Amino acid sequence: MSRQLNYVMAIREALFQAMQADPSLFMIGENMRAGIRPESRGLFQEFGDDRVIDMPISEAAFTGFATGAALAGGRVIVEYQVSSLIFPAFDQLVNQVAKLPYMLGGQRFLPVTFLIMGAGAGGGRAGQHSDNPYPYFLHAGIKTVFPTTPGDAKGLMLAAIAEDDPVAVFAPVGVYGTSGPVPEERIAMLLGQGVVRRAGTDVTVVAGGPHALQAVALAETLKEEGISLEVWDPLSLLPLDKAGLEASVNKTGRLVIYDDSNRTCGFAAEVAGLAAERCFHALKAPIKRVTRADVVIPYSAPIEAELLPTPNRLEAAVRAVLG
Amino acid sequence: MSRQLNYVMAIREALFQAMQADPSLFMIGENMRAGIRPESRGLFQEFGDDRVIDMPISEAAFTGFATGAALAGGRVIVEYQVSSLIFPAFDQLVNQVAKLPYMLGGQRFLPVTFLIMGAGAGGGRAGQHSDNPYPYFLHAGIKTVFPTTPGDAKGLMLAAIAEDDPVAVFAPVGVYGTSGPVPEERIAMLLGQGVVRRAGTDVTVVAGGPHALQAVALAETLKEEGISLEVWDPLSLLPLDKAGLEASVNKTGRLVIYDDSNRTCGFAAEVAGLAAERCFHALKAPIKRVTRADVVIPYSAPIEAELLPTPNRLEAAVRAVLG
Amino acid sequence: MPDADKQSLDTDAALYRRMRLLRRFEEMAGDLVRGGEIQSAVHDYIGQEAVAVGVCAALGPDDVITSTHRGHGHILAKGGDPARMLAELLGRESGYNKGRGGSMHIADLDLGIFGANGIVGAGAPMACGAAFMFKTRGESHVAVPFFGDGAMNQGVLLESFNLAVMLHLPVVFVCENNGYAVTTPIGEVLKGSILERAAGFGLAVEAADGMDVRAVRATAERAVARAREGGGPSFLEFGTCRYSVHNISAGAAWQDERAEAELADARGRDPIDRLAREMLAEGLWSPEDRTRIDAEVESELEGGLGFARNSRRPDPESAYDFMYARLYPGLPARGTDS
Amino acid sequence: MPDADKQSLDTDAALYRRMRLLRRFEEMAGDLVRGGEIQSAVHDYIGQEAVAVGVCAALGPDDVITSTHRGHGHILAKGGDPARMLAELLGRESGYNKGRGGSMHIADLDLGIFGANGIVGAGAPMACGAAFMFKTRGESHVAVPFFGDGAMNQGVLLESFNLAVMLHLPVVFVCENNGYAVTTPIGEVLKGSILERAAGFGLAVEAADGMDVRAVRATAERAVARAREGGGPSFLEFGTCRYSVHNISAGAAWQDERAEAELADARGRDPIDRLAREMLAEGLWSPEDRTRIDAEVESELEGGLGFARNSRRPDPESAYDFMYARLYPGLPARGTDS
Ligand SMILES: Cc1ncc(C[n+]2csc(CCOP(=O)(O)OP(=O)(O)O)c2C)c(N)n1
Ligand SMILES: Cc1ncc(C[n+]2csc(CCOP(=O)(O)OP(=O)(O)O)c2C)c(N)n1
Ligand SMILES: [Mg+2]
Ligand SMILES: [Mg+2]
């Protein structure tokens, strides 16, 4: 699988192959027909206007529309062009589609995939276009993946579409520019499987998306000093590979979580809580969280940078847990 | 302050006194005029239709309405009759009112109080009327209080209204029936101050609302066996009294969090994450979370009970950390 | 499952029988609330029977409805089994939702009942999604979201009006205007006309007397026929009256401010008595027929209640079932594991 | 702060000058984007100047506007200081939002500019809330939410129409219909008429040519006068055209499918040239006057850009400021403390 592909192109390939493979699958979102966004470019031309539908700026209604289509036996992909667009649709997400199968006593499950583009901060996207809101979905019990490499993007996008439950795919802007090996075939990865991006023995760093790549880079630097970082990437935030997390932390005895969602009740808090219960006896040092500050992301570069998790802060935390 | 008052009546008294004290304060919500809900009964008759306004079933718009009134110099209380009604208004809450003061560079702060009634499960209120959604607000950086006793309800309601920032007051149904001492005067409590509901030496139980009362009751039972529980009630979830939490955990060396919000990325996760960093060296046992399961709350009593945190499970967790 | 003929509403006698079933079902639910067998909220449908029954008389088994917090009437009108509904209200495993849902979430997807909903307006976009599936599959089915006057101010419903028009969907929006949202008169929160608001979205609109089941049926039949033939979505408003308080479990505490005169007037136009009177005047039946049908309804409900009471509650361990189609280790998280 | 006379728009020359300022401001912003001094999204207002300037000509300093993602024009029209706006776009401490906001959040509450907004439709309910304060305080001010055609499908805006009518608020809703939401033609997502949709909520509606600043001003003056006098809310639709791509930072990649002919036609009706021509024909000014005003605008913008470039960026440590009015220990949480 030496074929190299860009991250967003990998998502696009997954969408094309999934639509080809399942004629009952359709996709809704905003401004797809004109194909200004690379992930959906050409989809409309390929699959036509009854399978690729441009929606009005009605996030709540078109989310419920997808739910109703699924209740009627359809399979649907819903695209939100910016991560904060889940907020106008929030009731239809956390209070409707996420709850209906259970409230209905399992009469039907709802195969709806939520593709959330533009997740995360960077480049002055400011207060309403920089959120990484996956913790809201995790708290609501919505299955959620956070692909790091182009290969993950294709494999997890396909996995999300294959699932018979609502699954959210968060695509972090920080890796849009990256390329990597992506299999040509339509092969879904598995939910609930983390990956050791880099093996190490002294400290476990839990990180996904661009932050996983930064952690691996830091690991290379610290190697010089004989510090051995293990970088564990969850990839699937819900279900979470708790066994994989536990194995890594039990091995290293030290845990730093490096995550770009808000700190309070964020993903890092959940990981810390898990480790503090499951790995307590193996822990040699306090668990450290290196996260986004609980502050709105500002526009101006120096203050934006100040509020985001950085490799320097990760390094400081690593050194701190090494005592 | 021997005067006894019911929990909901204490909220009502706070609303009356705050409206009396500040003629610029007004309140919006649904079905207030008819006074069917005890917390707002009589408000309309007392303060008239330009200070107590019945809103249409437009949670998003009337939340933004409050924001705009505050931008124009007003002070507003917004009532949501059920906790899940924050979801249709979610963008206006976490993406607008919570972010505007910062995004505007501090040009104005927004004194809006969100009174969220009917928080929590019990009695078959089922999937869409049983949420305890405060973790969403904590993650969004919205100041949040969770009053346990009638005295807290009045004091924290007044504190929330006095604050120049948005503050959410979650009123858990589980304590609506309780009565207790409530000062007649209009005295606000302080945000960010937890309270030791019962002092102990062996295990710290962090719990608020009805669960704090249950924890105190359990402490009395376990006393017989010579097990000494300290029950620490945060009262203010954001800002959180981290020093108070730290002091208690450092004293007992054991922590169980007993919380009725969803488990993943919930309040208990945040408390566990804090303790696992700040109190690591004092901890003698794994941190345990006794929470609601990450499952939609069902209607039928036996399965509803199965999914909620119970004193029995708290007791089991306490015994587990005592080894 | 009620047998097929029980489902058809193509005679006036069947309309009467069904309305009577709705009425007596809710009265029974009220007794169960007062008797303490139901603790939770129950928003009864008494007084509004002609709307659900008249509309569903225009629908076939493959058509779909979405309902509201006040859903019992819609579900029975669409053919829901009172026994399984009562079992749900009593929190039994044999209930429609296996005891997971209760009053505000009863559904029977096999009967095209996409569920009551605890959130005002939330079902409407789902009806649009179902209608879209019908259209793209080349099926001639229709989707009918029911909602109240108060829902006319909820954004997601208004957005749904646009979706249905934009995609020319076979949707018939049904607004049950009982004049109030809990205690708030619609005139205080919606100035002007409900019909004009809907028409402004490009919906074909029509109103009829929601206390006259034949008028409702005739109106619904026109709208449904147009939708089936690809004529697009429409909006129907039916004026009606809720006799009880908003939520009978809240009881007298929620007594609203409606003048007795207003209620008395409505009771004077009671949809069930009205149809019965008309049928008698038209010689369509005899008083004995009515008595017989009433008795049938009683025994059906008695049988249903017996079935419900004799069913067992769900096993606590089953509480985790149905959250997901596919489970994973540690999913869903329990409240004590990590 | 621009001096008072700069703010008044009561002569045609002032209208011209302001429209020219909007146009050249956006052209300058475009240069800054292409030059790499602005990385972030910029939704320019070029082509739509007559709407913001015509509407704001009907407003006084105490009236309030809410704006959109395409906000520069509204802010300048309401009297915003180009220097502080440019400073904001360059992320400087001297910017309107101290560098916290950027293009999509510029605000000046002192000038009644309640801010651009990154979420379509989100500003409208805030305008209603401000209007409510005016009304209860006995002030005669008016609130004007600006929004695009695409926002007509967003629930919170539709809910706001109802709120304004229900509370009889001094609100003038201004829909800038440039025909597209990003690349999606309004006709594809909103069938029928924007005006009828608004009228259906009970709003007084009127439309005018958004490429004719005098027509816009006259229309706005009527609506604003009625609102001031307690006549209630209204809705204005102005047809206009966005010359550039939706977001100039996205550049050619976002080139939409609009036919050159469509753009050429719009440019032929350019609002700035049109007013200039009319004034000349009416003998209201000479070519020299125009040249002088253009030069003034250039120097104002040059000065503004100099001011912005010479201002410093915010100090990193200040990043935590303004999140709350009152701070507490550990609030807001930093990314590394616990
Ligand atoms: C979005 C939302 N807001 C508020 C509520 C609380 N609530 C439940 S029913 C109801 C009144 C609904 O009135 P209407 O739509 O006219 O239906 P009716 O009860 O009259 O049948 C309200 C406000 C809710 N369930 N959902
Ligand atoms: C609620 C919401 N949905 C989607 C977006 C993404 N978005 C930004 S601008 C825009 C188009 C808005 O069109 P219109 O309202 O006509 O304004 P215009 O850009 O034409 O001025 C979209 C879809 C958003 N910011 N907010
Ligand atoms: Mg009603
Ligand atoms: Mg537009």
- Please judge whether C336 and B123 are an interchain contact, meaning their C-beta atoms are less than 8 angstroms apart: no
Burial class (CB in 10 A: 0-12, 13-18, 19+), C108: buried
What pLDDT shows up at residue C7? 65
Return the pLDDT at D250: 84
What type of residue is C219? Answer: T
The distance of D157 to chain C (nearest Cα, Å) reads 8
Compute the average pLDDT of residues C190-213: 97
Q: In what order do the strands lie in the sheet with A25-29?
A: A52-54, A25-29, A75-80, A112-119, A167-172, A143-145, A236-238
Per-residue pLDDT, C2: 39
DSSP state of C62: T
- Tell me: pLDDT of D253 over 80: no
- Does the CB of B247 have a partner CB in chain D at under 8 Å? no
Classify strands B25-29 and B52-54 as parallel, antiparallel or unpaired.
parallel
The answer, for C134 touching chain A at a CB cutoff of 8 Å, is yes
Q: Pick from B67, B113, B72: which is nearest to D130 by CA? A: B72
Write down the pLDDT at residue D103: 97
The model's confidence at residue D2, banded by pLDDT at 50, 70 and 90, is very low
**What is residue B36's predicted lDDT score, i.e. its pLDDT?**
87
Cα B196 to Cα B182: distance, rounded to the nearest angstrom: 18
Shortest Cα distance, chain B CAs vs residue C323, angstroms: 6
Kindly report, residue by residue over A213-263, the tens digit of the pLDDT. 999 999 999 999 999 999 999 999 999 999 999 999 999 999 999 999 999
D residues 53..82 contacting B (CB < 8 A): 64, 66
Mean pLDDT of the B89-96 span: 98
Reported as a single tens digit per residue, the pLDDT across D3-12 is 444 568 999 9
Taking the CA atoms of C237, C241, C247 and C250 in sequence, report the sign of the dihedral they define: positive
Say which residues have a Cβ less than 8 Å from residue A252's Cβ, sequence separation at least 6.
Answer: A200, A201, A202, A203, A204, A230
Q: Give the active site residue among B129, B139, B211, B281.
A: B129
Distance CA A276, CA D91 (A): 41
CA–CA separation, B217 and B207 (whole Å): 12
C-alpha closest to that of D59 among D148, D130, D163: D130
CB contact under 8 Å between A295 and B102, yes or no, is yes
- Choose among C191, C201, C166: nearest CA to D204: C191
The per-residue pLDDT for range D78-135, each reduced to its tens digit, is: 999 999 999 999 999 999 999 999 999 999 999 999 999 999 999 999 999 999 999 9
pLDDT band at C338 (very low <50, low <70, confident <90, very high): low
| DSSP string for residues in B112-133 | EEEEEEEES--SS--TTS----
Q: What percent of chain B has pLDDT over 90?
A: 97
Q: What percent of chain A has pLDDT over 70?
A: 100
3-state secondary structure A235-303: CEEECCCHHHHHHHHHHHCCEEEEEEEECCCCHHHHHHHHHHHHCHHHCCCCCEEEEECCCCCCCCHHH
Instruction: Kindly give the interhelix angle for A7-21 and A150-162, rounded to the nearest 10 degrees.
Output: 30
Which tokens is C219 given?
């109106």
CA distances from A244 to A194, A275, B269, B301, D107 (A): 6, 11, 19, 36, 48
Peptide bond into A23 cis (omega under 30): no
Mean pLDDT of A9-13: 98
C185 within ligand 1 shell (Cβ under 6 A): no
> Residue A244: what are its φ and ψ, rounded to 5°?
-65, -45
pLDDT for C222 beyond 80 = yes
List all residues of chain D from 76 to 115 with a beta carbon under 8 Å from chain A. Answer: 88, 91-92, 95, 97, 99-105
Under 8 Å between Cβ of B297 and B127: yes
Alpha helices for B253-310 (secondary structure H)? 267-278, 301-307
CA C70 / ligand 3 centre spacing (Å): 10
- Residue B1 pLDDT exceeds 60: no
**Number of neighbouring beta carbons within 10 Å of residue B196:** 15
Taking the CA of residue D151 as reference, the ligand 2 atom at the shortest distance is 15
Which residues 67-126 of B are in CB contact (within 8 Å) with D?
A: 67-74, 76, 91-92, 95-96, 100-109, 111
CA dihedral C210, C212, C217, C223 (to 10 degrees): -40
How far is the C-alpha of B109 from the C-alpha of B166, rounded, in Å?
A: 9
Alpha-carbon span B299 to C8, nearest angstrom:
31
With 70 as the cut, is the pLDDT of residue B270 above it? Answer: yes
Cα(D49)–Cα(B165) distance, integer angstroms: 36
Per-residue pLDDT tens digits for B213-264: 999 999 999 999 999 999 999 999 999 999 999 999 999 999 999 999 999 9
Average pLDDT over every residue of D270-284: 97
Dist. CA C211 → ligand 3 center (Å): 15
Sign of CA dihedral D165, D167, D168, D171: negative
Closest ligand 1 atom to residue C69 Cα is: 9
Mark yes or no for CB contact A286/B289 under 8 Å: no
Q: What is B7-53 written as a DSSP string?
A: HHHHHHHHHHHHHHH-TTEEEEESSTTTT-SGGGTTHHHHH-TTTEE
Residue nearest to atom 12 of ligand 2 (CA): D181
Residue with tokens 């004007």, as numbered in its chain:
D144
Q: What is the pLDDT of residue B104?
A: 98
Tokens 């009917």 correspond to what residue? Answer: B118
What DSSP string describes A148-210? -SHHHHHHHHHHHHHSSS-EEEEEEGGGTT-EEE--SS-----TT--EEEE--SSEEEE--TH
The average pLDDT across A177-188 equals 97
**Which of these, A59, A69, A63, A70, lies nearest to A93 by C-alpha position?**
A63
Contact predicate B32/B82, CB 8 Å: no
Structure tokens at B158: 């007044």
At a CB cut-off of 8 Å and minimum separation 6, what does C11 contact?
none
3-class secondary structure, B96: helix
DSSP state of A93: I
In the structure, what pLDDT confidence band is assigned to residue C6 with cuts at 50, 70 and 90? low
Position C110 scores a pLDDT of 98
B106: left (phi over 0), alpha (psi -120 to 50) or beta: left
pTM above 0.90, yes or no: yes
**Average pLDDT, whole number, for chain C?**
95
The two tokens of residue C10 are 């193509």
What does the pLDDT look like over C31-79, one tens digit per residue? 999 999 998 999 999 999 999 999 999 999 999 999 999 999 999 999 9
Q: Could you say which DSSP state residue D331 is in?
A: B
DSSP β-ladder status, D172-177 and B229-233: unpaired
**pLDDT value of residue B17:** 98
| Angle separating helix axes C213-228 and C271-281, nearest 10 degrees | 100
Chain B closest-CA separation from residue C24 CA (Å) = 23
Asked if pLDDT for residue C4 goes beyond 60, the answer is no
**Residue B122 CB neighbour total at 10 angstroms:** 18
- Give the position of tokens 């924290």: B156
The Å distance, Cα B84 to ligand 1 centre, comes to 13
Q: How confident is the model at residue D74 (pLDDT cuts 50, 70, 90)?
A: very high
pLDDT at residue number C91? 98
Residues 6+ apart with CB under 8 A from A87: A133, B90, B91, B94, B95, D119
**Which residue of chain B comes nearest to D162, CA vs CA?**
B56
Q: How confident is the model at residue A28 (pLDDT cuts 50, 70, 90)?
A: very high
The alpha-carbon gap from A27 to the nearest alpha carbon of chain C, in Å, equals 12
Answer whether the bond into residue A239 is a cis peptide, omega within 30°.
Answer: yes
pLDDT of residue C260: 87
Q: Is B281 an active-site residue?
A: no
Cβ–Cβ under 8 Å, residues D96 and B108: no
- How far CA A261 is from CA of A119, A121, A131, A307, in Å, comes to 10, 10, 7, 11
Give the pLDDT confidence score for residue A1 in this predicted structure: 52
Q: Mean pLDDT score of chain D, rounded to an integer? A: 95
- For C335, half-sphere exposure in the C-beta direction (CA atoms, 13 angstrom radius) is 29
How high is the pLDDT of residue D338?
59
Reported confidence tier of residue D337, pLDDT bands at 50, 70, 90: confident
Residue C253's pLDDT is 73
- Using the Cβ of D119 and the Cβ atoms of chain C, whether some distance falls under 8 Å is answered with no
* B92's tokens: 């206006």
Confidence of residue D258 (pLDDT cuts 50, 70, 90): confident
State which amino acid sits at residue C257.
Answer: E
H-only helix segments in A22-83? 43-47, 59-71
Question: Taking chain B, what is the end-to-end CA distance rounded to the nearest angstrom?
Answer: 42
> What pLDDT score was predicted for residue D7?
65
Closest chain B residue to the Cα of C338, Cα to Cα: B289
Closest by Cα among D310, D297, D214 to D2? D297
> String of b and e for D50-83 (b: at least 16 CB within 10 Å)?
bbbbbbbbbbeeebbbbbbbbbbbbbbbbbbbbb
DSSP SS3 for D256: coil
Distance separating alpha carbons of residues A237 and A143, to the nearest angstrom:
7
A238 touches chain C (CB under 8 A): yes
Q: Does D315 touch chain A (CB under 8 A)?
A: yes
Residue B182's pLDDT is 98
pLDDT (0 to 100) of residue C255 = 73
What contacts B273, CB < 8 A, 6 or more positions away?
Answer: A268, A269, A272, A273, A276, A287, A289, D338
pLDDT tens-digit series, residues D292-305: 999 999 999 999 99
pLDDT of residue C257: 72
- Say if residues C107 and A110 touch (Cβ distance below 8 Å): no
